[in-house]
């Protein structure tokens, strides 16, 4: 049984042995803000941005000396603060302004192409990365209360 498992594992890992694959971790800061858009009766306004960190694991699959397909799995955060006018007025006739802080976490799957330059210094190359990512919201907080999607 052990020999069978080792054989299956070796065969599964064999294609990766011939291709150049690099695996790494990524942690990155981000600043995001909200641009509210809605019914003019509510008068939505952006009140501030959100600073957060995101991170995850990535893999570069090299199919040439200077070309790599990049993918991974990341947890990123976005959000901000916004305010809006309630459709109800106080007894004095003043509008009620509500301010909310929104934070959304996304599970992100990037699909990009990395284009590397030749060495610009010993063991130093510059790369350009083009592509996009698929993101799915997994959790949101409004004024500290959690909501799961």
What pLDDT digit, counting tens, does each position of 37-68 carry? Answer: 777 777 888 888 999 999 999 999 999 889 99
**Which residues partner with 128 through β-bridges?**
115
Q: Is 1 inside a domain boundary?
A: no
Given a contact cutoff of 8 angstroms between Cβ atoms, the answer to whether 142 and 100 are in contact is yes
Q: Is 61 inside a domain boundary?
A: yes
Whole-number pLDDT of residue 42:
79
Which domain range does residue 141 map to? 21-148
Q: Is 39 inside a domain boundary?
A: yes
| CA 117, chain centre distance (Å) | 26
Report pTM. Answer: 0.70
Classify residue 122 by its DSSP letter. T
Distance between first and last Cα of the chain: 43
- How does pLDDT run along the chain (149 residues), one tens digit per residue? 666 556 655 655 555 555 689 999 999 999 998 887 777 777 888 888 999 999 999 999 999 889 999 999 999 999 999 888 887 777 877 888 889 999 999 999 999 999 999 999 998 999 999 999 999 999 999 988 887 76
Instruction: Give the number of other CB atoms < 10 A from CB of residue 63.
Output: 10
Q: Is 12 inside a domain boundary?
A: no
Whole-number pLDDT of residue 35:
83
Count how many domains the chain has: 1
Whole-number pLDDT of residue 147:
79
How far apart CA 39 and CA 35 sit, in angstroms, is 13
Q: Is 9 inside a domain boundary?
A: no
Q: How far is CA 148 from CA 52, 57, 117, 138, 141, in A?
A: 19, 23, 43, 6, 9
Q: Is 48 inside a domain boundary?
A: yes
Q: Residue 36: is it exposed, middle or buried by C-beta count within 10 angstroms (0-12/13-18/19+)?
A: middle
Given a contact cutoff of 8 angstroms between Cβ atoms, the answer to whether 72 and 26 are in contact is yes
């Amino acid at each position: 049984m052990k020999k069978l498992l080792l054989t299956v594992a070796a065969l599964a890992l064999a294609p990766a042995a011939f291709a150049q694959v690099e695996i790494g971790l990524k942690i990155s800061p981000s600043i995001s803000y909200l641009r509210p858009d809605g019914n003019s009766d509510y008068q939505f306004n952006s009140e501030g941005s959100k600073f957060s960190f995101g991170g995850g694991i990535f893999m570069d699959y090299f199919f040439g000396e200077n070309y790599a397909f990049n993918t991974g799995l990341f947890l990123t955060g976005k959000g901000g603060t916004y305010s809006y006018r309630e459709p109800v007025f106080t007894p004095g006739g003043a509008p009620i302004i509500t301010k909310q802080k929104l934070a959304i976490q996304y599970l992100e799957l990037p699909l990009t192409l990395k284009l590397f330059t030749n060495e610009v210094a010993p063991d130093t190359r510059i790369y350009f990365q083009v592509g996009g990512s698929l993101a799915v919201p997994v959790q949101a907080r409004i004024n500290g209360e959690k909501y799961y999607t």
